[in-house]
Structure 1
């Protein structure tokens, strides 16, 4: 269990696997919002995520999950939305304008769809030994990145010219796509976007994961 901030208030507890990009996107959001938090690393290899006590927090037995002063919540995108509405008084990460909010939601859907089935799934093969068709997941990642590369020619961030939840939800698996065998070399606009996210004050990274032999 590690704490990034010191505070007299009860910190948010983040239940996680430190190799998970879904968990990292929540940790990144906590850091950027300057929310005191502590991490609780689950021994998932021995089934800690399926234990009865954890299933009360996360009924599907998945990470990440959080506890925030008696509020329990799972699903990374749901947690991002909660943290923003709860703590982002200036609406920096989730705009109130209808069209701008819809643009953010579109990329949250991409995070749960094309990112999950592309660069995320490719990395699951190499880092966790998931039984997916690796070549197919790599192809899906490149199809997504081709669209993103053109999109980022027109703007600095995924949903406009300032950072939003769209970028937080997308960053982790895209930045770590090479761990899944997906090179970012052909995509200069994506690499520039990754660098912009990493240059944010209070940015916290996800440690590189060893690739299975």
Structure 2
């Protein structure tokens, strides 16, 4: 049986989350790199695979699946990964993880991504940063961070429980994008969320080098160079 193909760009937060999940669970896969920066995801060849022109996408013996949340669930069930990643027996914990994955896209993903985009992309394109927009998204992001604290973590070390899950990977990979532009305090201001982020980081550390080398470091270098040139 051919290994699963993972179409991804490690500069993308959801791509990093899926990549890490597959690595941490020893799921065999072939990485097919799609360069978002050059618009490779918009080209005809990739559009035939994924009409919505987004990554990550997996292909498993002809079956194509997009959306990181759906990919997590599919892989967890197919490869019978450890129960803590996506519980099949504890329906309450599974429900909480599903709740986070659904909530994530219109809360943490939207606010963190737009905080990042308004600063990184505008700097990259030589456009002025719209400080009022950045302030608005940071305000909404702070509300979302506090919701993770009070609702999703409560007194637990991870989202919805005592062990790491796909929800933690999804959340952490999104938030750490802010480190690239020096805005890590936008989520680390909250002591409980900061401690959670440190726990997740320690868990993924052995598998993280490609994400750092291919995804995060190049963007940090570009951003720092552009910022320095404006001083």
> Which TM-score tier does this pair reach, normalised by the shorter chain?
0.7 to 0.9
Partner of 1:169: 170
The verdict on how the C-alpha distance between 1:74 and 1:128 changes in structure 2, with shifts beyond 3 A counting, is farther
Asked if structure 1 preserves the Cα contact closer than 8 Å seen for 2:176 and 2:184, the reply is no
Q: Contact 1:141 / 1:182 at 8 angstroms: preserved in 2?
A: no
Q: Taking structure 2 as the reference length, what is the TM-score of the superposition?
A: 0.78
Structure 2 equivalent of residue 14 of structure 1: 6
Work out which of the residue numbers 47, 68, 77 in structure 2 matches 1:76.
Answer: 68
Report deviation, 1:144.
0.9
Alpha-carbon distance in structure 1 between the residues aligned to 2:160 and 2:79:
20
Alignment partner, residue 103 of structure 1: 96
Which shows bigger deviation, 59-68 or 10-19? Answer: 10-19
Q: Are 1:138 and 1:182, in contact at CA under 8 Å, matched by a contact in 2?
A: no
Task: Using the TM superposition, name which of 98-107 and 62-71 deviates more.
Answer: 62-71
Count residues in correspondence: 205
Distance 1:27 1:155 in 2: 25
1:11–1:37 Cα contact (<8 Å) kept: yes
CA deviation profile, 1:99-139 (whole Å, cap 9, x unmatched): 22110111101221201211122122333349983222211
**2:25–2:81 Cα contact (<8 Å) kept:** no
What pairs up with 1:116-127 in 2 under 5 angstroms? 116-127=109-120
Looking at structure 2, the residues matched to 194 and 88 of structure 1 have their Cα atoms a distance apart, in angstroms, of 26
Q: Which residue of 2 aligns with 1:143?
A: 143
* TM-score using structure 1 length: 0.84
Structure with the greater alpha carbon radius of gyration: 2
Q: Identify unmatched segments of 5+ residues in structure 1.
A: 1-8
Runs of 4+ more than 6 Å apart: none
